[in-house]
Chain A
């Protein structure tokens, strides 16, 4: 339950911090921290325009996308504090739940018969297909290292084993941070602020969503962001501290994470589209290194 509360609390300021950081780096004052949420609430109140070529699939796509992210949030633990749902192999269900949301958002993009949105849909399907193995290798090696197979047990035991766990935790945190960037379509894979449809991934898929649908898609994106950043925070925060210290470290860490993304997006150019596959495969390679490190630590090699 604590994890869910922390996720919701950090969700309040997370998107705002990114926007604010980018504004500051570009020499502007920037909007208030809560502005992204005001925008979303305004969208939720608006009317919608549906494409004439869209069918019922377009209507159900966005609600299912949000629902999967909400249900996936129930899986995330905060270290030894229980998540709401936890069982052996729960991360498989977590990944496949996000898969359902992705599937629906891809087919609703294909439903409006626009070449641009087809492009975004195709890229989303392709990149997430390449990204998925990294997530599973990561969790697989953590499972191998700790001997447990659920999010909660893995993170509760990650820091008890030995000093080696620090190596594992750092690599895992790095891989998870990269997965976050790909899953939520941020730089360097996708630039959410680019204004050229040919070079977008996620934003171009939702060009035809408007009003309520666009609002819930934005909510889902923000939540998804927090889910993954909470996972990486789980890897990095040591458990020896008091609970209140850890909670505050977590909340500050989220600020830093958001600010880091803002910093990255201010100073880094987007990858060439053709290089994205290579970039994602390199994350997979780092994840593979992780599994070998885990094997060495467990005296298997």
Chain B
């Protein structure tokens, strides 16, 4: 029954191109709901019972396509459904200004791709067969490409989109290569084949191929360069869904593959851990340097992928040493952080979208003072900022706590190298947390607080209520995880139990989690009490408004506030070798009696991208023109080329190579 609904929804999506413009959105929402209901019912069944296999009734040359939903798939399905649904709700408001401007077919294409992105992601997490998995993966990349280039009339957006498409296909090629290597030896092009391969021969090379392939999607450094370009270019509901769940498909792949690993666990664990630490630290340092709010959030996705990577690495190390408790805490933390990041990152992108909707600006240099006009949006952004910094009583803390707890428990009875890695991971987690607070006090404080930094053409007003509904849903989920972590951790443990085929006990952890939820509740009660006391006190005394204290200087204005550049400056001095920082400024000369207007411009380049990718590209681009010698434009030269080719073939045959 649900299968038929699922298929009908995907079929009916083509109807999007034929219905009138104003019904398109409604059709899209209904189809999303159908996908949501059918897949949620499967996922719910799987989490409470056992693995479900559904025949889609479509046969390819490699056999019938089957949905195999195990608890891991179910878990990711639920995340996908929640975020896609919120994204679709958000789109109704965000797309409204575009409706009269865009041609009908573009709107249909956009909504169609959004629906199919949802569908394709559901397929990705439920395909065990290699061909079907790659097909779903490709669908996901293609439709997200169409979504990114929604504003293709801008040349920069189109360029970004093509960059994105190319990088995704590099990842696709690597994943395909991984499957083919496994199939070559075992004869099975599927995850089962990969499993067999792992039991037969060395695990590290094949894992690295998969890790690079999935890592491009997930955005591990140095495979991250598409993220900070594509997210700002895409409309906000798309960036929310892409950052919230689509990059998590990479994490899903890494999870799936690392659960199959059988040998070399120690070295693989260290590799993943290192990748996680590097991504986490560099991601957040780069984020602090940004001026563009959405670009800042995109770099934060890299940072959070890094945290997830640390969790996965710790889990693999736990498995390597036979410490199941460490494995649960590492993998459990990573899985829970996947959900948490999906929640707060889409919340942050949606609220950043609200800012853009209301002000048509996204550069923090031009924002400020929005909290007075957009109370709900700024409140939601504040909650997202607290949650992403891992601050209680919100959800980000719970998953980071799992990882911390695992590492700290592991420290006292491990060997020297293992202890060193524990210390390094704790250090980097703490630094990431501290930098995250630094970054989000900047992002929130400079865009929403203080006084406006630039003139706005129209008065800033709060966005329509429908654009706040998804934020509200997401905040409720975040609070639920923060206040009742035991329920969610239990679900994660069910997933892990099935994935590792071992029975796991987490009694000591549950005690900690219960205490955390008590503390969180106590914290909220204490805050409310103090706020109540304060309100009572304020009702008794005189409360006045006045100008900000200027330390004796009375002509202060908005230009005296901190800017994104100056706020990041103290960190920049410390991390100078890691970031390429350019500053355009000519100081006043003594001879300039009537100086012309001066400008000041700073810019940061992504050093990893420059050194690992662009330097090679520049090398190739610089040397390719030399090949132009061959293109002489003379027909007799062109006739020589096939002759030479034939001679080469003949020569190779003579020396028995061909």
Which A residues form the contact surface with B (CB < 8 A)? 44-57, 60, 62-64, 66-68, 70-71, 74, 85-90, 92-93, 96-97, 99-100, 102-103, 106-107, 110-116, 118-119, 121-123, 125-126, 128-130, 132-133, 136-137, 140, 143-149, 197, 207-208, 211-213, 216, 277, 291, 295, 298, 300-301
Contacts and interface: CB of A to CB of B under 8 A. Distances in A.
25 contacts: A45-B537, A46-B541, A49-B545, A50-B545, A51-B545, A56-B371, A56-B379, A66-B530, A85-B519, A88-B508, A88-B511, A99-B389, A100-B392, A110-B449, A112-B548, A113-B368, A113-B449, A121-B562, A123-B570, A126-B570, A132-B431, A133-B430, A144-B412, A149-B408, A295-B419
B642 to A, nearest CB: 65
Given A50-B543, A51-B546, A89-B512, A121 B411 contact: no
B412 A53 contact: no
B449 A55 contact: yes
Given A129-B435, A129-B437, A144-B411, A48 B392 contact: no
Given A114-B561, A129-B438, 19 more contacts: A51-B549, A55-B378, A63-B531, A74-B522, A86-B515, A88-B509, A103-B386, A103-B391, A107-B444, A110-B449, A115-B561, A121-B441, A137-B426, A137-B427, A140-B422, A207-B549, A207-B551, A212-B537, A301-B416
Given A88-B409, A112-B450, A140-B408, A52 B548 contact: yes
**Which 3 residue pairs are nearest across A and B when measured between Cβ atoms?**
A110-B445, A129-B434, A118-B562
B84 interface: no
B622 interface: no
B375 A56 contact: yes
Given A71-B526, A88-B508, A125-B438, A140 B560 contact: no
Contact of A126 (B385, B531, B543, B571): B571
Contacts of A66: 530
Tell me the dominant secondary structure on chain A's binding face.
helix
A212 B538 contact: yes
A110 B446 contact: yes
A197 B516 CA distance: 39
Nearest to B409: A149
A300 B419 contact: yes
A97 B522 CA distance: 12
B542 A113 contact: no
A63 B530 contact: yes
A299 to B, nearest CB: 10
Contacts of B498: none
Interface stretch (B164-172, B397-405, B585-593): B397-405
Interface bin, chain B:
35 or more
Contacts of A85: 515, 518-519
A2 B621 CA distance: 72
A60 B433 contact: no
B446 A48 contact: no
A114 B556 contact: yes
A50 B397 contact: no
Nearest to B516: A93
B390 interface: yes
B408 to A, nearest CB: 5
A41 to B, nearest CB: 12
B417 to A, nearest CB: 10
Interface in B510-567: 511-512, 515-516, 518-519, 522-523, 526-527, 529-531, 534, 537-538, 541-551, 556, 558, 560-562, 566-567
A57 B383 CA distance: 11
Contact of A48 (B369, B405, B415, B538): B538
A156 B368 CA distance: 50
B54 interface: no
Contacts of B551: 116, 197, 207
Interface string B122-136: 000000000000000
Contacts of A110: 441, 445-446, 449-450, 562
Given A44-B537, A118-B562, A107 B449 contact: yes
Contacts of A295: 416, 419
Interface in B473-529: 508-509, 511-512, 515-516, 518-519, 522-523, 526-527, 529
A164 B404 CA distance: 27
Interface of B: 368-369, 371-372, 375, 378-379, 382, 385-386, 389-392, 397, 400-401, 404-405, 408-409, 411-413, 415-416, 419, 422-423, 426-427, 430-431, 433-435, 437-438, 440-442, 444-446, 448-451, 508-509, 511-512, 515-516, 518-519, 522-523, 526-527, 529-531, 534, 537-538, 541-551, 556, 558, 560-562, 566-567, 570-571, 574
Contacts of B548: 51-54, 112-114, 208
Contact of A52 (B445, B547, B561): B547
A110 B412 CA distance: 42
A89 B405 contact: yes
Nearest to B532: A63
Contacts of B375: 55-56
Given A111-B449, A208-B548, A208-B549, A63 B527 contact: yes
Contacts of B400: 92
A229 B434 CA distance: 22
B424 to A, nearest CB: 11
Contacts of B416: 295, 300-301
Contact of A136 (B405, B426, B529): B426
B574 A93 contact: no
A250 B523 CA distance: 28
Contact of A49 (B397, B445, B546, B567): B546
Contacts of B516: 87, 93
Give the residue among A45, A51, A52, A96 with the most B Cβ atoms within 10 A. Answer: A96
A279 B397 CA distance: 29
B433 A132 contact: yes
A126 B438 contact: yes
Contacts of A46: 541
Contacts of A144: 411-412, 419
A53 B369 contact: yes
Contacts of B427: 133, 136-137
Contacts of B426: 136-137, 140
A110 B522 CA distance: 28
A133 to B, nearest CB: 5
Contacts of B390: 96, 99
B523 A68 contact: yes
A103 B437 contact: yes
Contacts of B511: 87-88
B410 to A, nearest CB: 10
Contacts of B441: 103, 106-107, 110, 121, 125
B547 A140 contact: no
Contacts of B385: 103
Give the residue among A60, A119, A137, A212 with the most B Cβ atoms within 10 A. Answer: A212
Given A136-B430, A140-B426, A92 B404 contact: yes
Given A55-B372, A89-B401, A137 B423 contact: yes
A275 to B, nearest CB: 12
A107 B545 contact: no
Give the residue among A111, A115, A129 with the most B Cβ atoms within 10 A. Answer: A129
Contacts of A63: 527, 530-531, 534
A213 B541 CA distance: 13
B542 A47 contact: yes
B445 A111 contact: yes
